[in-house]
Structure 1
Amino acid sequence: MMAHYRASESKREQFRRYLEKAGVLDSLTNVLVALYEEREKPNNALDFIKHHLGIAGLESDDVDNLRLELNDLQHKYEQLMEENKDLKNRLLQYESAQEDPNPE
């Protein structure tokens, strides 16, 4: 039983050192301290943490790309709607010409 406890403790200690070396512990500590020191606690603590860890900044590139794509698709949609309207009008003119081949 004691050997199992030491093995687990050793793995935990290795993981702690890994997190410390990677700067994860400092980053988490800093963001939690910032949250603690906030006078008015945010409604969404997870968003606060993401923002302060810089995750929100990483996602903003994706958001910018999606906005550009959306803008492009909206423009294409408007063009297709105009083309559709034009083709419907041409079809109506063609159909009315077929119904009355000898206008007066």
Structure 2
Amino acid sequence: MAHYRTPDPKREHFRRYLEKAGVVDSLTSVLVSLYEQPDKPSNALEFVKQHLNSGGQAITDTEALQQEVIDLRQRCAQLADENKDLKSRLQRYEPEDGATAD
């Protein structure tokens, strides 16, 4: 004979929290995706991690974007230095009182 357990209030609260946060739907979606894979990956945990990471964005995409941010920051610093140099060179050719020469 099966024993019926009354739901633990803490457990029910936590379950509702996970459902409200979308965790249950995300996990279900990833597990369904794994189930539907014709060739099962050798590492199921890695599959789940990759598909849960940033809304399904691949780790390699994240690394590529991080590298792009680093490159763009370096380029921005180079352009700021070049801008500073050009401004100082321009100041040598402009009159001090701001009037243009005729």
- Between Structure 1 and Structure 2, the one with more helix by share is 1
* TM-score calculated relative to the size of structure 1: 0.48
Structure number with larger C-alpha Rg: 1
* TM-score calculated relative to the size of structure 2: 0.49
Does 1 or 2 have the higher relative contact order (CA < 8 Å, sep 6+)? 1
